[in-house]
């Protein structure tokens, strides 16, 4: 068994280290983040840092790494207070991957990457028309994480758009039925296989 110590990790070549640490935790949530600025220009980016924070209120968190001026997602959210999270389907993962390219500031990724904007119920931020699960959120808090200069965005879910048959009678959202793709690291995409659901764990 090999041991990658902290010193080994710190000494890794930058690109190798980024790939190693990003893929180490395994499969992650994969979402396309849709935003719009005050001038009406949309933005679409791929994120694997979304996580559940609570159900009452319904909160999701996500992490933003330090980025250059050409990255508009967080700036747009701070302007409008709204954003969307949209799942990635297997037939669309190459196009979704392309949204992570460094497009110039002010240029929308939607059309160049083959995605259509979908607007709903006076909600300002764009959804992805091709996604089977679309989540609209309102910004609630941004927390600075000083240890690595990242930011944690906390948003409250205000809209969920999906077909009725994706939700089970007990509220379970069936991502296998929705066709949701997952990711390991930054560039390795996977379809899922359902192993089963277990009852609530109790101490015997």
**Rounded Cα gap, residues 72 and 128, in angstroms:** 17
Give me the CATH number covering residue 141.
2.30.110.10
Query: What would the mean pLDDT of 130-135 be, rounded to a whole number?
Result: 97
Does residue 7 lie in a domain region? Answer: no
* Cβ–Cβ under 8 Å, residues 151 and 63: yes
Per residue in 76-120, pLDDT (tens digit) is: 999 999 999 999 999 999 999 999 998 988 899 999 999 999 999
pLDDT at 68 over 70: no
Q: Which domain holds residue 60?
A: 26-189
What pTM does this model have?
0.92
Instruction: Tell me the average pLDDT across 23-41.
Output: 94
Q: In the chain, which ranges are continuous DSSP H helix?
A: 6-11, 14-23, 73-80, 93-98, 175-178
Residue 10 lies in a domain: no
Mean pLDDT across 179-203: 91
Tokens of 197: 């659901």
Please give the mean pLDDT across all residues of the chain.
93
Q: Which residues pair with 155 in a beta bridge?
A: 60, 139
- Asked if 156 and 140 touch (Cβ cutoff 8 Å), the reply is yes
Q: Within a domain: residue 85?
A: yes
Q: How many domains are there within the chain?
A: 1
Q: Model confidence over 191-202: pLDDT tens digits?
A: 998 889 888 899
The gap from C-alpha 63 to its chain's centroid, in whole angstroms, comes to: 9
Under the banding of pLDDT at 50, 70 and 90, the label for residue 59 is very high
Query: Under a CB-based contact definition with an 8 Å cutoff, are residues 23 and 184 in contact?
Result: yes
Tokens of 5: 């110590």
What is d(CA 173, CA 194) in angstroms, rounded to the nearest whole number?
A: 13
In a domain, 12, yes or no: no
Check residues 20 and 70 and name the one with the higher pLDDT: 20
The per-residue pLDDT for 66 is: 82
* 201 occurs within a structural domain: no
């Amino acid at each position: 068994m090999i041991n990658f110590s902290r010193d080994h990790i710190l000494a890794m070549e930058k690109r190798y280290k980024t790939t190693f640490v990003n893929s180490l935790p395994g499969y992650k949530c994969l979402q396309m983040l849709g935003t719009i600025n005050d001038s009406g220009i949309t933005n679409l980016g791929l994120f694997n840092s979304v996580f559940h924070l609570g159900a009452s209120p319904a909160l999701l968190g996500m992490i933003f790494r330090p980025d250059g001026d050409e990255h508009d997602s967080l700036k747009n959210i701070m302007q409008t207070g709204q954003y969307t999270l949209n799942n990635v389907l297997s037939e669309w993962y190459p196009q979704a991957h392309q949204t992570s390219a460094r497009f110039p500031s002010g240029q929308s990724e939607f059309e160049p990457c083959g995605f259509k904007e979908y607007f709903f119920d006076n909600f300002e931020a764009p959804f992805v028309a091709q996604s089977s699960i679309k989540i609209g959120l309102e910004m609630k808090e941004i927390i600075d994480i000083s240890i690595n200069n990242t930011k944690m965005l906390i948003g409250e879910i205000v809209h969920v758009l999906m077909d009725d048959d994706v939700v089970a009678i007990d509220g379970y959202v069936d991502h296998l039925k929705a066709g949701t793709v997952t990711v390991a690291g930054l560039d390795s995409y996977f379809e899922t296989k359902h192993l089963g659901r277990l009852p609530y764990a109790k101490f015997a």
